[in-house]
Each structure stands twice: as C-alpha cells, then as structure tokens.
C-alpha cells in the first residue's frame, strides 16, 4: 500500500500506540481523584502538558488538551464571540479556511456577527495588508489558517501577528495550525499568535486528540462547561493516555521536521516535474517557497476525479479528490475557485499529501501508475 492522503489523516506511529495502551492499562485513574491511582494519572497529564509546551516554546499553563482541530477552532471562535460581543460584532477571516472555521462563522452570522471573508491571490495566500484593510472599530477577532489543507499555501502569519500586536492589540489573533504544525516551522511567541489550534491525528497521533495553545491572559469563555478540568477551561474527564500519546507524536514529528524535510521537498519536486511533463495535467499548488512540500494539488483534464482515485486504489495507491471532509459531498473546492481555477478543471482535482514516512520509490510507483491509468482511460474514451 502507498498511502498519500496524510492531510486527511495519518497512520499512528507505533510508539504512539504503545504509549497509549501502556498508559490506558497501567495509569487508568481519573486525574481528579485524590488517591494514588488518580495522582499517578495526574502526574502523567502534567508531564505531557509540560513536554508539549517545551516543544512549542510556550508555558505549560498555555496548553489545553482538546478532542482535535474542530473543537479547538469552535472553542476559540465561539468563545471570543461570547466574551467580546459587548465590544464589537465584527470578525475577519479568509475565503479558504477549513469548514470548522467557515461553518462556525455561518453560525455566528446567524447570531448577529458580521464576518469579512478576505480573498486570496492566485497562490492561495492572503495579504496582511488586505486583512488590515478590513479592520473596523467593531473588529474583535482575526482568524487565519497557517497552511491551507487543499493546496498547501502558507499564510503570512508572522506578518499579520506583528501588525495586529503593534497597532491593534485588542483584536484577538487565532491561527488554525492543523496542517502547519510539524511541517512549517512557526514560533508562536514570535508570531504574536493569541491562539493556535493543533490536531494530533494529522501528525501520527490519535484521532480525537488535540491541543489548543492560548496565550497567557488571553482565555475566552469555555465551550464545554462542567467539572472544571483543564483549569476550568475544558471540562470533561481528561484523556490522559491520549495526551501522553499526543506529546510523543509531536516530539517525533518535530524531530522529523528537522531531519527529513529535505526528503519531503525532494519527493514534492519529483512529483511536480513528472506531472508537468504529462499532457492535460495542471498543478494548482503554488511553488514551494509559497507552499508546503507535503501537499500537492493538481487536475487531469477531462478525467472524472472519482474514477481516477479508484483506479489508483486498485493499484494500492491512496490519494484524495479534495479535502477529506468535502470529498464525499461533490462540492467544487472553494480554494481552487478562489485562486482562479475554472470550475470544470477544479472538478477533476486531486490532492497528494505526503508524510515523512513516504519514500522516493513510492513516488516513482505513483508516477508510473498515473501514466498507466491515463493511457488506459484514453483507450476507454476512444
């Protein structure tokens, strides 16, 4: 099997699974219990939080465990809206965010908030200047993703963060970092980010685990109220094993980022070069200085996307038509339309998303398979 759908989800590292099962079996106590078994679990939770904080270069009281990217994004957007609705009702975001941002914005619009969706350029990037132009006196929040999940564009987070913190310190800055962490280096402190969303299953951790960084003093009203866990910010009995597994996955992924980024780049460049030589293929991901090496989006003219994905699957190769959550709805990608790809071409678009586990040999097999299927389809269509 050649798995190239790593932006949808990744296969957990075996070390992560071992951590999870060991902690689940040996340290199954409730961290809120005052007896020894509870305290042992609490100790592990504290350690996991400290490790993650250390890896991200932040304080441990700025780390909250969540169930993943969707929860992190909902927590910040809804929380900020509730906390600051007295100050203003305007929020700025971009046209290319994940649905866990856009759908929340729609809900907030129903609640009376006004949302500005800032468009992107032909590379899928928003400009800091455009974001700033949309600021009004009622603006309470700016939310921009770190890396786009469909075409891999990198957004100018540091630039936006710098301007906001210098000139608009009362506007909250949230970044959806789900596709960025472990693939595109960021210093949360240097970028002046107030909140950053992370999801563990995108870097070989487990589904249903996430981390939300919130700068000290920048907490909003919680989404989940209850027993007061996570320093009264995210109630619900803590998933200690998941937190320990997430810390392990993040450590391994950040190490890979240091050691293996050049291999990702090499694979990406090889795919681009080979695809560009084939007739009828257009590549939508912008050049590598503007996008991450693990996401490559392209179209094959006149080919039905599902037919192609299944033909690759028959050869043991797994890619996706567009982002995983919208691939079953047959909606044309708003990101591709946003960068000016005609609808007909956007309909036959594919996303290859790599992990540090993939190899050049696999890339050669993929290119051979794509050539083979193109040839076969030409025969069928004659």
Ligand X SMILES: Cc1ncc(COP(=O)(O)O)c(C=O)c1O
Nearer to ligand X, 10 or 149 (CB): 149
Q: Which 8-state DSSP code applies to residue 169?
A: T
DSSP 3-state of 340: coil
Size of the site for ligand X (CB under 6 A): 13
CB of 99 to ligand X, least distance (A): 8
179 binds ligand X (CB under 6 A): yes
Contact flags string 182-221 toward ligand X, x per CB under 6 A: -----------------x----------x-----------
DSSP 3-state of 316: coil
CB of 372 to ligand X, least distance (A): 30
Q: Interface with ligand X by CB under 6 A: which range of 31-39, 64-72, 182-190, 248-256?
A: 64-72
**Residue 98: beta bridge partners?**
none
Q: Work out which of 118, 160, 178, 212 binds ligand X, going by CB under 6 A.
A: 178
Interatomic CA distance for residues 168 and 91, integer angstroms: 14
Q: Which burial class, exposed, middle or buried, applies to 169 when counting CB atoms under 10 A from its CB (0-12, 13-18, 19+)?
A: exposed
Token digits for 312?
């690759």
338 binds ligand X (CB under 6 A): no
CB of 199 to ligand X, least distance (A): 3
Q: Interface with ligand X by CB under 6 A: which range of 67-75, 224-232, 308-316, 344-352?
A: 67-75
Are 246 and 200 in contact, with CB atoms under 8 Å apart? Answer: yes
12 binds ligand X (CB under 6 A): no
Q: Work out which of 19, 74, 149, 256 binds ligand X, going by CB under 6 A.
A: 149
Q: Which burial class, exposed, middle or buried, applies to 121 when counting CB atoms under 10 A from its CB (0-12, 13-18, 19+)?
A: middle
70 binds ligand X (CB under 6 A): yes
Nearer to ligand X, 248 or 311 (CB): 248
Q: Work out which of 44, 45, 145, 267 binds ligand X, going by CB under 6 A.
A: 145
The CB-nearest residue to ligand X is 69
230: left (phi over 0), alpha (psi -120 to 50) or beta: left
Which residue, among 296, 309, 9, has the nearest Cα to 124 in the 3D structure?
296
Q: Which 8-state DSSP code applies to residue 147?
A: B
155 binds ligand X (CB under 6 A): no
User: Active-site positions?
Assistant: 325
98 binds ligand X (CB under 6 A): yes
DSSP 3-state of 313: helix
CB of 77 to ligand X, least distance (A): 12
Are 192 and 162 in contact, with CB atoms under 8 Å apart? Answer: yes
Q: Work out which of 100, 268, 299, 348 binds ligand X, going by CB under 6 A.
A: 100
Q: Work out which of 3, 42, 65, 68 binds ligand X, going by CB under 6 A.
A: 68
Exposure string of 42-64, with b = 16+ CB inside 10 Å and e = fewer, is: bebbeebbebbbebbebeeebbb
CB of 169 to ligand X, least distance (A): 26
CB of 66 to ligand X, least distance (A): 9
Contacts of 129-132 with C-beta under 8 Å, sequence gap 24+, read 131/92, 131/160, 132/163, 132/167
Q: List residues near ligand X by CB under 6 A.
A: 68-70, 73, 98, 100, 145, 149, 176, 178-179, 199, 210
């Amino acid at each position: 099997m050649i798995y190239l759908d790593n932006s949808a989800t990744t296969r957990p590292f075996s070390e992560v699974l071992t951590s999870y099962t060991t902690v689940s079996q040996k340290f199954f106590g409730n961290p809120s219990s005052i007896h020894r078994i509870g305290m042992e679990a609490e100790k592990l939770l504290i350690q996991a939080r400290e490790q993650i904080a250390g890896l991200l270069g932040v304080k441990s009281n700025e780390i909250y465990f969540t169930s993943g990217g969707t929860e992190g994004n909902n927590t910040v957007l809804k929380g900020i809206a509730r906390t600051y609705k007295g100050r203003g009702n305007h929020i700025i975001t971009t046209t290319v965010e994940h649905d866990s941002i856009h759908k929340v914005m729609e809900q907030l619009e129903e609640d009376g908030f006004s949302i500005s969706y800032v468009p992107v350029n032909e590379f899928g990037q928003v400009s800091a200047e455009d974001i700033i132009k949309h600021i009004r006196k009622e603006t309470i929040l700016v939310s921009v993703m770190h890396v786009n999940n469909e075409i891999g564009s990198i957004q100018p987070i540091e630039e936006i963060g710098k301007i906001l913190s210098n000139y608009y310190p009362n506007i909250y800055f949230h970044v959806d970092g789900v596709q960025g962490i472990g693939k595109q280096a960021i210093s949360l402190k240097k970028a002046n980010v107030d909140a950053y969303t992370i999801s563990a299953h995108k870097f070989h951790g487990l589904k249903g685990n996430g981390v939300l960084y919130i700068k000290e003093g920048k907490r909003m009203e919680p989404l989940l109220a209850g027993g007061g866990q996570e320093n009264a910010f995210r109630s619900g009995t803590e998933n200690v094993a998941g937190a320990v597994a997430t810390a392990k996955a993040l450590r391994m992924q950040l190490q890979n980022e240091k050691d293996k980024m050049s291999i990702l780049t090499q694979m990406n460049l090889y795919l681009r070069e080979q695809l560009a030589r084939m007739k009828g293929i257009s590549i939508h991901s912008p050049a590598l200085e503007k996008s991450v090496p693990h996401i490559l989006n392209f179209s094959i003219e006149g080919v039905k996307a599902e037919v192609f994905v299944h033909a690759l699957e028959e050869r043991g190769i797994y890619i996706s038509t567009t982002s995983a959550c919208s691939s079953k709805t047959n909606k044309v990608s708003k990101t591709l339309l946003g960068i000016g790809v005609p609808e007909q071409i956007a309909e036959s678009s594919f996303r290859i998303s790599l992990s540090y586990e993939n190899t050049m040999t696999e890339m050669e097999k993929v290119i051979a398979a794509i050539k083979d299927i193109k040839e076969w389809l030409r025969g069928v269509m004659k």
